[in-house]
Amino acid sequence: MNLINRLFKGDRAMWFIIITLALISFIEVYSATSTTVYKNGNYLGPIIRHASFLMIGFALILVIHNIPSRFFSILIALLPVSILFLILTLSSGAGVETNDARRWMSLGDISFQPSELAKLSCIVFIAFLLSKRNKYSDAQIFWYILIGVLSVCMLIFPENISTSLILFFTCFLMMFIGGISLERMGALSVILIVLGILFFVCLHYVLPDDVVNNTRRLATAKHRTENLFKKDPPLDAKTYTINDYNRQETFAKIAIANGGLGKFPGYGQQRDTLPLAFSDFIYAIIIEEMGLVAGLFVLFLYLILLIRVGTIARKCEKLFPKFLVLGCGLMIGIQALSNMAVVVGLFPVTGQPLPLVSQGGTSIIITCVYFGIILSVSRFGAGMGNEEDDIEKNEEGDVIELETDISDKTPLTFAENLLETKV
């Protein structure tokens, strides 16, 4: 028990969420990769790869949650790096095209998604700026954030519309929670709504069909939004046609309809027919194989995560860890909710994985970094689950409280120097 307490520090509820999601991921990815196993003839290959990423991610959590949260400001340096990677990914030389989208970058034998790195850097960037209200004016903070985040989102948008929207929405919520003036936030909201309406109108009513169809991402976005708002006639097995544009939604609905009490892992039928059953649509497989109760339990875990993040933030005395933990929690929670909304048919298909559950390399690693940061903030920013570190006994055996947050003694000079230019 002492060894467990020494290894797993910080918020105990967050550790329960992490371990539970990882176990569900291992079981369901093993079941859902049956088609990959059949095609490749490698029985254990996919699950060994997935388990390797889970173990690497878990090791990262153990390391990161022992780092005082004040040091995470150095991750701001990842912002220009991620922008450079995103630019290189859009080029024909460095970018790798997968599933009709150029979202991956290859460095030798290593492939990763620069957008995941960009999301992390944006969260740290915003958290740092919001913590410097005494140094920068409200206008300066607003424009710094807007310029930085828009630069990233505009580079992600051409190949991954959903990721850019989720990132911007998360950053918008951080700005709102961070106290940016309602006047500026209101004006930004109006502009975004107008731009969204114009994009929708141009996509569906202005641009010629040949122009849209020749641009693969626009064509995909158009068909997916049409499927969402289209009123389908009563289903008839004899006349209903499954095509490339409704295949995922159709088989996901079948999997959910077959859920009930669950068929037990490994006995689901749609895992063999549902495209990307092991990644984007793994939530449908969870419901089919483990039942509707299990589906609600997974949803409950992410909601508890958001609640615990709010609790950690309220206990933080310093602004940087407060906004940092909120940003990390919001990113995980919003992505999870959007994935589940897609699976049940509330949102158009987005291609967003279920954090820490879906198969994936970059997504699992960066999600584990988020969890490590959350646990670090819970320890060093909120003083939670840190009892053995926070107290010691003097010679008479009396308990002495130890100081855990010494951020005032070590100013974030590196990050501040990156932002010395006035707006």
What's the pLDDT at 202? 83
pLDDT tens for each residue of 90-143: 876 666 666 666 677 777 667 788 889 999 999 999 999 999 988 889 999 999
Q: What is the DSSP letter of 57?
A: H
Three-state secondary structure string covering 378-402: HHHHCCCCCHHHHEEECCCCCEEEC
Which two three-digit tokens encode residue 34? Answer: 């049956």
Q: With bands split at pLDDT 50, 70 and 90, how would you rate the model's confidence at 393? A: very low
Q: What percentage of the chain has pLDDT greater than the value 70?
A: 79
Average pLDDT for 228-243: 62
Instruction: Please count the other Cβ atoms lying within 10 Å of the Cβ belonging to residue 341.
Output: 15
Helix (H) or strand (E) holding 46: helix 45-64
What's the pLDDT at 3? 66
- Burial of 345 per CB tally in 10 Å (0-12, 13-18, 19+): middle
Q: What is the largest CA-CA distance in the chain?
A: 84
What's the pLDDT at 400? 36
**CB crowding 140-169: b at 16 or more within 10 Å, else e:** ebbebbbebbebbbebbbebbbbbbbbbbe
Q: With bands split at pLDDT 50, 70 and 90, how would you rate the model's confidence at 404? A: very low
**CB crowding 62-75: b at 16 or more within 10 Å, else e:** eebbeebbbebbeb
Residue 54 has pLDDT above 90, yes or no: yes
Determine the Cα angle at 243 with ends 166 and 345, to 5°: 40
Q: Residue 248 to residues 264, 341, 345, 350, 392: CA-CA distances in angstroms?
A: 22, 13, 10, 11, 57
Local structure of 338: helix, strand or coil: helix
Average pLDDT for 70-81: 91
Determine the Cα angle at 138 with ends 161 and 71, to 5°: 70
Average pLDDT for 30-54: 78
Q: Residue 352 to residues 332, 340, 399: CA-CA distances in angstroms?
A: 11, 9, 49
pLDDT tens for each residue of 3-16: 677 778 889 999 99
Which two three-digit tokens encode residue 195? Answer: 């731009």
CA 223 to CA 349: how far, in whole Å?
10
pLDDT tens for each residue of 283-303: 989 999 898 999 999 999 999
CA 97 to CA 90: how far, in whole Å?
10
What's the pLDDT at 331? 95
Instruction: Please count the other Cβ atoms lying within 10 Å of the Cβ belonging to residue 237.
Output: 5
Selected residue with higher pLDDT from 349 and 371: 371
DSSP per-residue letters across 68-134: -GGGGGGGGGHHHHHHHHHHHHHSTTTEEEETTEEEEEEETTEEE-HHHHHHHHHHHHHHHHHTTTT
Which two three-digit tokens encode residue 81? Answer: 């790096």
Average pLDDT for 363-378: 94
The upper half-sphere exposure of residue 114, i.e. CA atoms within 13 Å in the direction of its Cβ, equals: 28
Torsion angle of the four alpha carbons 386, 307, 19, 251, in this order, in degrees rounded to the nearest 10 = -170
Residues 6+ apart with CB under 8 A from 194: none
Q: What percentage of the chain has pLDDT greater than the value 90?
A: 43
